[in-house]
Amino acid sequence: MLSQPTIDIIKSTVPVLEVHGTAITRRFYERMFSRHPELLHIFNHANQKQGRQQTALANAVYAAAQNIDKLETILPVVKGIAHKHRSLGVRPEHYGIVGENLLAAIAEVLGDAATEEILEAWKEAYGVIADVFIGVEANMYAAAEASEGGWAGFRAFRVQRKVRESEVISSFYLVPEDGRKLAEFEPGQYVSVRLDIPGEAHTHIRQYSLSDAPGRPYYRISVKREDAAGDRPAGKVSLYLHEQVTEGSVLWLSAPAGDFELNRHSDEPVVLISGGVGLTPMVSMLHTLAEKQPHRQVTFIHAAQNGDVHALREEVEGLAAGHEQISVHWCYEKPTERDRAGNRFHQEGYIDLAWLRSVVPGAGADFYFCGPVPFMSAVNGILEAWGVPASRIHYEFFGPAGSLKGAAAPVHP
């Protein structure tokens, strides 16, 4: 337990963290990687370059400081981060490295404002926070290994099938090389894929949502090819998967993880909303609802640029055709002539509140959504404007957790 003086000091630094948080975390990563380059085998380099990881850590530190006297209130956030850590292979010994470099970064960025008293308080507080993470992650490691079909670390999987789903998305059907049973997972969860790409100095690890239902003799991931666009570089991992990985290739996977899960204990209507490749966890949820809760009303909404990049469309429509409680709706921002000729979409342009209300039975459903951050921010804003309670709004970030500042604006992927 932290002493009251320590709590008071930590809380007094909240305004400083609000202003300097990202500068501190940026310096923290620079410092840590220069002293411990082996950690570059764990962290996502693209998120580092784009500043997403620094912002996510700054937000987490800020939240911890705000709630230092009631850390139980941020336990859901802790669990979400812990799932990522477990899937990446973060271990207790890494927390000492993080703590040392975080405190040093605070001292460097704040200068004389970082008094000895403040640094000692943060050292004590970090120790308590780290112990919480280590404890939660220890339970997750144990559960992943002990579950039927589970495993520790990374396990070899063979690509049984590779299927082109659209111009930009391909699915990989993965079966374990050892022939042993597969661990169950909750629809909405992901696996980490570890790759050693020829010519790359460091290992790359990426999380991909499982895009089929639990209980299959394989895991399926559906990956978008990330080509270079504007200032955004091409995705090294996605290009490697699309261009170099073929049927018969071996990939290394962590056991399924993640806290974005379908509530299967409810009979309330469900609305699944996705943009772009964000449909992958939604398709897993849809399959599960069709198989396990065929009486439950489901509205599936997907936004894409057009039909050429719309993946898994026939699969979803096939599920809807066999289950009258499922309705599907497509929103295309820039439909092609083929889309128009075949009446292949239901809304042109963007998702907005008026259209959403016309296809969803009511605001009393459970809403799940995933996609690019601007898309999710707009969806969140629409649901808030509609008056949907926060307890019924569920979403997943691809990559480090961000912030959704909702506004009832048009939505596109």
Q: Is 28 annotated as a binding residue?
A: no
Q: Is 254 annotated as a binding residue?
A: no
Q: Is 207 annotated as a binding residue?
A: yes
Q: Is 276 annotated as a binding residue?
A: yes
Could you tell me whether strands 155-164 and 169-176 are parallel, antiparallel, or unpaired per DSSP bridges?
antiparallel
Token pair recorded at residue 124: 């004590």
Name, in order, each residue with C-beta under 8 angstroms of 409's C-beta and a sequence gap of 6 or more.
352, 378, 381, 382
Q: Is 278 annotated as a binding residue?
A: yes
**What are the start-end ranges of the E strands in 231-279?**
250-253, 270-275
Which of these is catalytic: 18, 29, 93, 95?
95
Got the DSSP string for 54-115? HHHHHHHHHHHHHTTT-GGGGHHHHHHHHHHHHHHT--HHHHHHHHHHHHHHHHHHHGGGS-
SS (HEC) of 42-57 = CCCHHHHHHCHHHHHH
Ramachandran category for residue 371: left, alpha or beta (phi over 0 → left; psi -120 to 50 → alpha): left
Q: Does 218 participate in catalysis according to the annotation?
A: no
Q: Does 95 participate in catalysis according to the annotation?
A: yes
Q: Would you give the distance in Å from CA 285 to the centre of its chain?
A: 15
Q: Is 94 annotated as a binding residue?
A: no
Is 360 within 8 Å of 376 (Cβ atoms)?
A: no
Q: Is 397 annotated as a binding residue?
A: yes
Q: What are the Cα distances from residue 144, in Å, to 128, 141, 182, 210, 216?
A: 25, 5, 11, 16, 18
Q: Is 279 annotated as a binding residue?
A: yes
Q: Is 410 annotated as a binding residue?
A: no
Which of these is catalytic: 29, 126, 137, 219?
137
Q: Is 288 annotated as a binding residue?
A: no
Q: Is 399 annotated as a binding residue?
A: yes
Binding-site positions for NADP(+) read 276-281
Binding-site positions for FAD read 190, 206-209, 397-400
Binding-site positions for heme b read 85
Binding-site positions read 85, 190, 206-209, 276-281, 397-400
Active site residues: 95, 137
